Amino acid sequence: MTDRAARAVLDRLRAVEWAGEWDFAFGHVGSRRVLFREYLRRAAVWSRAHGGRGSWLLSDVTPYVDPDFRLSPGVTEELAELLRRPSDGEVRSTCSGAVRLAELRGRKPEAFAGLPDLYEPLLLFWERGGEFARDDAGFIDLTGALIRPGPLEACAGNPPVTDLSDIVLDALDVDGRVTYYTSADGRRPLLRRCVRRDGPTDQSLGRALRWEPTDLIPASDEAVRGAGLVTVDELEAARLIGQEHAAAESPGSA
C-alpha cells in the first residue's frame, strides 16, 4: 500500500506534544537548533533539484515535485484532523508536506533519487519539544533559541548532519551557552565549554558519546589558539559527534 509510509508519519505527528512543556523543549534546545538548520539545508537542496524558491523553506513541497499528486482519501481525512492541533500556519504546512511527501515517495520514487529525506529533521525537531513560530521581525522562535533563515544558497552551504540518531542528538543538549573546540590537526577529541550563571564547565567527548570533565581548554582566547585549538559551530560539532558514533558502531571498535 502506497499510503503506509504516510500513515507512519501521521502516527509520529499525532504523538507530538505541540504545546509541550517548556522545560522539555529548553532541555533539547541544542539538538532542536541543529535539526532545524539541517532541515533548512535539505530544503535548499530540494529547491535546487526541483526548481523551488524561498517558499520552499517552510512549506509543503509536493506541488513542486508533482502538481497532480493527491493523497489517498483516508489519509486526507486523517491529515485534516491532525492539522487542527498545531497553531502555526507554517507548522501545519510542513506537517502536511511530511505526510504527502511520504506517500508520493511510494508512487514516484524517481523524484527522490539522490536527495535527502526532507522532513525527517523537522519530525525529530517536533518530537523533541513541539512546534516553532515566526515573529514579526522574520526570526523563527525554536523555544529557547531564535534563528533567522538565510537565503537558499547560504542554507545549501551548511555542512550536512547525516546522523540524526538519539545518541548524537542527546550529545548536543546542554544547559548554558556552549562553545565547541577541536584541534586544528584533528588529533584531539571534540571539546566544549558550557557557560552558566555559576561559571564555565569544560568537557571532552568520550568514546561512548558521554561528556567528561577536561582541562584541555585554556582560559583565554589567545591561549586557546596557542594550544592549537579552533572553534567550530554546532553543525560541525554535530558532524564530528556523528563520526565518533560511526566509529564506535563499526566492527572491531573497542
pLDDT digits (tens, 9 = 90+) for 39-50: 999 998 988 888
Asked which of 156, 177, 205 is the last residue of a domain, the reply is 156
Domain co-membership, 80 together with 173: no
Please give the tally of structural domains in the chain: 2
Domain co-membership, 129 together with 68: yes
Res 239 pLDDT > 90: yes
How much is the pLDDT for 116? Answer: 94
How much is the pLDDT for 7? Answer: 94
Domain co-membership, 140 together with 33: yes
Domain co-membership, 122 together with 171: no
| Cα gap 69→1, rounded to integer Å | 16
State the average pLDDT over residues 102-117: 90
Domain coverage including residue 150: 4-156
How much is the pLDDT for 1? Answer: 56
Question: Radius of gyration over alpha carbons of the chain, in Å?
Answer: 20
Q: Which residues, listed in sequence order, are joined to residue 200 by a DSSP beta bridge? A: 195
Tell which wins on pLDDT, 134 or 14.
Answer: 14
Strand locations in the chain (E): 133-134, 140-141, 146-147, 177-183, 191-196, 199-205, 211-213, 229-232
Asked which of 125, 156, 187 is the last residue of a domain, the reply is 156
| Averaged pLDDT of the chain | 89
Of all residues in the chain, what percent carry a pLDDT higher than 90? 55
